[in-house]
Amino acid sequence: MDALAELDREFAAGAHGAIDGMRVTIDGRVAYSATYPRDYARLLAYGADEPGAYNYYDSKWHPFLDASRLHTMQSVSKSVASALVGVAIARGEISSVDAPIARYFADYPQDDDPRRRALTLAHLLTMTAGIAWDETSAPYTDPRNACAAMEASDDWIAFVLRRPMAGAPGTAFAYSSGVTMLIAHVLERATGVPLDDYAARHLFAPIGIAQSYWKKTPTGLVDAEGGLYLTIEDFARFGELYANDGAWNGARILPEGWVDRSFARSVSVPDERGFEYGFQWWRVPAPSGAHAPAALGFGGQRLIVLREHGLVGAFTGWNIDQPSLSATLVVERLLRAVGERSSDFA
């Protein structure tokens, strides 16, 4: 496939920065796979003085975990958390994404704002919770960034719940790692199982993922907004579950229709690039004006799922001080690789 070979050459030459892995599968078979050694010891030899789990310049954590093959997924973790909601619904542990979630936070002090009590999982999944949150005006290393401030707090759930309501749930999109942490809390309360154990048992093991790691918050809650580590092979495998409509080897892992609802446009996004949003999945514009589902993570984590072609593209990297790998470019190259026009999918 010339388009993938061209992309491979560009990655090897550093044309897209510190991209360290590419894996493309079609109908579950490997169509292209490559890794690109990067001198992260040199690249990470500066930055904040104090190492830690959420310091992007700490080579223990980023981009590989303890020099293993487990790579940080960053906000791709959000798409996995969304999948776990689907798993919990399939198992009967959560009734519906439309049920109010206030009861899961009864042990946290909250105001009496009726807008907060109207929150549902659907509002969290679509980033339309209405909670005041700014995660885009300042970089993630800046304490003015709401996500950075949350990660510096002792109790992430309490931090999110202390934020005032800025609008009615379901009315406006605001990208928020905080609402994904609320999803993690709901999952742990609804299932009675730590989220990492639940994911390993009911999502990862059934699709052949044997090794993973999740960071945890100071209270022990799994970091579902950015704390997952997978190998690139398993990163692609997760995408293949969605390419297979939530089934694996004939066994249904996600409820019927869950993938369709996750990939569908749920809300308008104030983004000049034309991106849209579903259930913790992005919709990336293609040349024709159609959109391709994508799980995207800080630093260059890209997972593109073109179900109509049975194609999954997984890319990993660590562009934290330069423009990241363009998801739109990746979609265009993948479409070129299968020799189809973008209008063949919606």
Tens of pLDDT, residues 200-230: 999 999 999 999 999 999 999 999 999 999 9
Q: How far is Cα 186 from Cα 96, in angstroms, rounded to an integer?
A: 12
In order of their start, the domains of the chain are 1-45+57-63+301-346 (no CATH), 74-277 (3.40.710.10)
Contact in structure between 242 and 262 (CB atoms under 8 Å): yes
Burial class (CB in 10 A: 0-12, 13-18, 19+), 245: middle
Q: How far is Cα 44 from Cα 63, in angstroms, rounded to an integer?
A: 10
**Strands ordered across the beta sheet of 19-26:** 29-35, 19-26, 311-317, 301-306, 291-297, 282-285, 276-277
pLDDT for the residue 289:
80
Within 10 A of 58 (CB to CB), how many other CB atoms are there?
Answer: 15
Crossing angle for the helix pair 327-338 and 2-12, nearest 10 degrees? Answer: 140
pLDDT grade, residue 46 (50/70/90)? low
Among 245, 191, 164, which residue's Cα sits nearest to residue 81?
Answer: 191
* pLDDT, mean of residues 317-322: 91
Q: Tell me: pLDDT of 245 over 80.
A: yes
Phi, psi of 18 (to 5 degrees): -85, 70
Average pLDDT, the chain: 93
pLDDT for the residue 50:
65
pLDDT grade, residue 178 (50/70/90)? very high
Long-range contacts of 195-202 (CB under 8 A, 24+ apart): 195/81, 195/84, 195/221, 195/222, 195/224, 196/222, 198/84, 198/87, 198/88, 199/80, 199/84, 202/84, 202/87, 202/91
Tokens standing for residue 171: 């009315």
Burial class (CB in 10 A: 0-12, 13-18, 19+), 157: buried
What tens digit of pLDDT does each residue of 48-70 get? 556 678 888 888 899 999 999 99
pLDDT for the residue 49:
59
Among 143, 171, 173, which residue's Cα sits nearest to residue 159?
Answer: 143
What tens digit of pLDDT does each residue of 247-285 get? 999 999 999 999 999 999 998 888 778 899 999 999 999
Q: How far is Cα 68 from Cα 71, in angstroms, rounded to an integer?
A: 8
Provide the CA 325 distance to its chain's centre, in angstroms. Answer: 15
pLDDT for the residue 48:
57
pLDDT for the residue 344:
45
Tokens standing for residue 275: 């991106």
Burial class (CB in 10 A: 0-12, 13-18, 19+), 242: buried
pLDDT grade, residue 136 (50/70/90)? very high
Alpha-helical (H) ranges within 144-231 are 146-151, 156-162, 177-191, 195-199
Tokens standing for residue 111: 């105001």
Is the pLDDT higher at 117 or at 53? 117
Phi, psi of 316 (to 5 degrees): -125, 155
Q: How far is Cα 216 from Cα 141, in angstroms, rounded to an integer?
A: 19
* pLDDT, mean of residues 328-334: 95
